Amino acid sequence: MRTAVDTSVLLDVLADDEAHGDASADALHAAFQAGKILACDVVWAEVAAHFATQAELEAALGRLHVIFDAVSHDAAGHAGRLWRKSRKGSRAPRERVVADFLVGAHALSQAEALLTRDRGFYRRCFQRLKVIDPSRAGRGSPFELSLQLPLRSLAGPHSVRAASALRSQCPEHRGMIARPRRAHGYALVIAARSARA
């Protein structure tokens, strides 16, 4: 199963959002277990704004098993038409930008579901799209291992080298999903989650 992911879910995890971080991390883990996690170019760009370098961006999203998947020509055209229609009617708030429709159109045509907390908008404007809201997903029981990786907005004296060092020390956890934790600054940690009941 291919699951597209919205920007808010990734930032929940990367910024250790107190309200949504754990639920979003669990939902990403479930999506990874079910197949592939896809981020379209819009989502990729929005997340990139929070990193100092491309290498750090790709390392963080790689740990989350997120795959770059560009919006197709057909999906882009569909998004544009839906946005134009929304400006004339009442299907969506007028402040919605084309980027929101690109995320939805990408998920509809290039994935089987969209992982997002903005379920109201996407269910209203993309009625055939399966929308998964992380806040309604179950949680596993994580245990954590240190893995440091800096974010531009969460700066600290952390090194990307810690990732490869930890992976070599704990090869059995290489496939586990990463999520952040506050501790003497900010760092990503590997969270190995128990199987759901």
| 102/128 same-domain check | yes
Residue 163, domain extent: 143-192
Residue 188 pLDDT exceeds 50: no
Is 146 a residue whose pLDDT tops 60?
no
Give the model's pLDDT for residue 48: 98
- Model pLDDT, residue 89: 61
At 93 the pLDDT is 52
Residue 2 CA: distances (Å) to CA of 30, 59, 146: 12, 21, 29
Number of CB atoms found within 10 A of residue 73's CB: 8
Looking at residues 35-64, what average pLDDT do you find? 97
Q: Alpha helix locations (H) across 89-197?
A: 98-110, 119-125, 161-169
Q: Summarize the confidence of residues 64-68 as an average pLDDT.
A: 98
Q: Are residues 64 and 130 in the same domain?
A: yes
pLDDT of 160 strictly over 70 = no
- Which of 118, 136, 154 is the C-terminal boundary of a domain? 136
Reported as a pLDDT band with limits 50, 70 and 90, residue 163 is very low
Per 3-state DSSP, the chain is made up of helix, strand and coil in percentages (nearest 5) of 45, 15, 35
Specify whether 28 is located in the same domain as 97. Answer: yes
Q: Domain total for the chain?
A: 2
Give CA–CA dist 104/96, Å, rounded: 12
pLDDT for 94 equals: 61
pLDDT of residue 191: 41
Stretch (H or E) spanning 182: strand 177-182
Q: What is the edge-to-edge ordering of all strands in the sheet holding 186-192?
A: 143-146, 186-192, 177-182
- Give the separation between CA 134 and CA 118, rounded to whole angstroms: 10
CATH label of the domain that carries residue 74: 3.40.50.1010
- What pLDDT, on the 0 to 100 scale, is given for residue 136? 75
- For residues 49 and 79, state if they share a domain: yes
Do 44 and 77 sit in the same domain of this protein? yes
Mean per-residue pLDDT, 5-29: 96
User: Does 176 lie in the same domain as 87?
Assistant: no
* Residues 71, 98 contacting (CB under 8 angstroms): no
The Cα-based distances of 139 to 26, 28, 66 in angstroms read 6, 11, 20
Domain presence at residue 197: no
Examine the fold and report which residue of 94, 110, 136 is the final residue of a domain before the chain moves on.
Answer: 136
Q: Write down the pTM of the prediction.
A: 0.70
pLDDT at 125: 92
List, for residues 74-133, the tens digit of each pLDDT value.
999 999 999 998 888 655 456 789 999 999 999 999 999 999 999 999 999 999 999 999
Q: Which of 91, 107, 136 is the last residue of a domain?
A: 136
Domain check: are 152 and 116 in the same one? no
Residues 117 and 170 in one domain: no
